[in-house]
Amino acid sequence: MVCEEKWWSNKCDSNVDKRYDSTVTPDISNLHPLFGAFEGLWFGRWVGYDGDLVETKPDQWYPYPWHSVVAANITVDGTRFIHHDYFVYHPVSADFCMSNVTTKSLDNGTCGVNGYFDFGSQYRVSTHEKRNELIGATSTGAFVGSATGRFNQTTTVGNRNQLVDTWYLEDLQPGMEWEYYITTTYTMNDARTSYLVEATHFDPFGEVVTIPKRDFYNMTRVDSVEEWRQLVGISLDENNVTEETRSSMSTIFDTGDCTGMSGCPIDNPELWCKVGDASPQCGVTPYFEATTVNAGLVGGLTAALAVIVLGIAIFVMKKIQRGKVEDEKDRLRTLFGAHIITSLGIGKDSPADALSVGALQKEFGAIDVSGDGTISKAEFKDFLTSGKMGEVPDSDFNALFGIIDIDESGEIDFVEFTTFMGQIRAILENNEFKDSSGQRHRLDTEISMKQSSRNLISMKQSSRNL
């Protein structure tokens, strides 16, 4: 990400863009207090209606009344919002069973005698955008049905008491294609002890948009796990749910994990990461404040004057900068910088021009094996894993490549390479670096910082002219 360029430096103003403010975390509880207010155990009822608010009737495919008991378990864990719903359906009437002889209950119970248990989960995440919104990673069980195509979900804060959730689902199975557009509102009371859900389904494929279905939930907070389980148990007894169904449900309650048979992000972290989950498990933020001196400031100055201006600029930046570049970014810069310095052979008997443009051009050419003038991801990975550096985690590799690849082209050119080298002066200043295990090593160099500064200025100046 490119920061706004000031006359004195290339840095972002984190005062006006919290994406660049390292003191603002992307954790869900930090985005808006309403998200965290939904965490806990809930119990209530659900009723399904058609577009005219007439309660939906059972049919041979779903032989249960369209109303049920609902138990919800919502967890907010860092950047992840995990929502489990459990539905206990009433048995259908005996008259319905007699008039629909082909009807069979979904769990091999008896029509009109046994109720039914169903479940579904929603998994949402916060991103490095740090907005008052969550992105759906996936849904399972009752919330997706037979959906095999695209799934999109966004949850935003409508006001201090209301979340607004938009869904898109599709099924691409031949002969069974369908699409869902759903808007759901979650409205919570001021005391944070109950919430009402209204889900409206839209059909935009006719001459006019119609509403084929509406769902309503009315939920009340439950204070303890014991009380919550007891309420569910009473509902199972009252609706005569079969023992076979109860056994499968018991496993779900005991594990506390996914409530669907497949597509569980707990088992597959990639499902979280692909939608931009800000968890460290998915990598580091692409937004960070650069602290490099503006090359235009020193471009036309003599080497001696440039060193003075460089020192003043660094002093000014330290005074006015409200935050610092994240430790993770520093670690990655040090990791790569130490490898470059070792590769260049900077040591006790190194020449003064070890960091000159010529030396860096030679090093760039060594990494650019194809000779096409840019460093590809594969070439960069081969260089990083060569020598003593060993294996580099994919998360570190991708984050580091993103830091150097300023224009996000997927390749590193010489200008980006030398610009990055201008950011690792601290390795020389401290005369040491950390390897990938965190162990410190001395560089054993006698290059003066004055000469190193001249070389870095010359390096950046020349790279702008290439």
Instruction: Report yes or no: 137 and 121 within 8 Å, Cβ to Cβ.
Output: no
Give residue 459's pLDDT.
41
**Do the strands 194-203 and 178-188 form a parallel or antiparallel pair, or are they unpaired?**
antiparallel
Give residue 129's pLDDT.
92
337 is a domain residue: yes
Assess whether 69 and 134 both reside in one domain: yes
311 is a domain residue: no
315 is a domain residue: no
Give residue 204's pLDDT.
82
Assess whether 60 and 165 both reside in one domain: yes
Give the span between the Cα atoms of 428 and 337, in whole angstroms.
10
Instruction: Report yes or no: 50 and 56 within 8 Å, Cβ to Cβ.
Output: yes
Give residue 453's pLDDT.
35
Give residue 449's pLDDT.
33
Percent of the chain with pLDDT over 70: 62
Give residue 7's pLDDT.
45
Helix (H, G, I), strand (E, B), or coil: what is residue 205?
A: coil
Instruction: Report yes or no: 339 and 385 within 8 Å, Cβ to Cβ.
Output: no
Give residue 444's pLDDT.
44
Give residue 179's pLDDT.
73
Give residue 400's pLDDT.
80
99 is a domain residue: yes
Which one of 282, 316, 339 terminates a domain? 282
Give the span between the Cα atoms of 279 and 124, in whole angstroms.
12
Range of the domain at 388: 326-465
Give residue 263's pLDDT.
46
169 is a domain residue: yes
351 is a domain residue: yes
Give residue 266's pLDDT.
65
Whether 156 shows a pLDDT value over 60: the answer reads yes
Assess whether 277 and 334 both reside in one domain: no
Assess whether 202 and 129 both reside in one domain: yes
* Each residue's pLDDT tens digit, 302-358: 444 445 545 555 555 555 444 444 555 666 666 666 666 666 555 444 454 555 677
Instruction: Report yes or no: 414 and 373 within 8 Å, Cβ to Cβ.
Output: yes
* Each residue's pLDDT tens digit, 249-277: 655 554 444 544 344 566 677 888 888 99
More confident residue, 445 or 229: 229
**Domain count of the chain?**
2
Residue 165, strand partner residues: 155, 184
293 is a domain residue: no
More confident residue, 141 or 78: 78
Which one of 219, 251, 282 terminates a domain? 282
Does the pTM surpass 0.85? The reply is: no
In 3D space, the residue among 338, 371, 321, 348 whose CA is nearest the CA of residue 437 turns out to be: 338
6 is a domain residue: no
Assess whether 338 and 277 both reside in one domain: no
More confident residue, 450 or 103: 103
Which one of 220, 253, 282 terminates a domain? 282
CA atoms lying within 13 Å on the CB side of residue 36: 10
Give the span between the Cα atoms of 127 and 136, in whole angstroms.
11
* Each residue's pLDDT tens digit, 277-286: 998 888 888 8
